[in-house]
Amino acid sequence: MQIKEIMTKDVLSVREDTPISEIAGIMSKNKIHAMPVVDSENKVLGIITETDFFTKDSANMHYMPSIIDFIKSGKMEYSEGEKEAMHAIINATAKDIMTTKCENVSPEMNVEDFVKLIKERSFNSYVVTDSEGVLMGIVTVADAIKLL
């Protein structure tokens, strides 16, 4: 069995300039955990997963879209330097949080080889591309588990 037989073919994707708040909404509405980032020719540039939306400090995890909503509410006063930083957060796009070194797999890859890759890399979602890097689908660990 090959990846093309188990992959999701109708993949939602975004461009580099898509705002992260919009991406979070798309992922939440469609109950998906990852979205490829593509260029105008549908070539994969990277991937955004749920974990890319979280920022971590020493004690807490923060969900970036919630931070953006709070900042936009205007409930706090900021210094000029802080306003610049807040502006950068509000205007963050896919390019700012995507993982550029995502794992691409071929639609012809054997599922057995895919399972080996999962064990080696420990990613949950893998972009399926043709030899030119054009998006063809996405395959997840859950897709492989369904075969058991």
pTM score > 0.75 for this model? yes
The tens-digit pLDDT sequence of the chain (148 residues) is 999 999 999 999 999 999 988 898 898 889 888 999 999 999 999 999 888 776 544 445 555 565 666 566 666 666 666 666 666 667 789 998 899 988 899 999 999 999 999 889 878 899 999 999 999 999 998 888 888 7
Question: Largest Cα–Cα distance of the chain, in whole Å?
Answer: 59
How far, in Å, CA of 125 to CA of 114, rounded? 11
What pairs with residue 43 in β-bridges?
A: 134
- φ/ψ of 93, rounded to 5, equals -125, 180
Domains and CATH numbers, the chain: 3-145 (3.10.580.10)
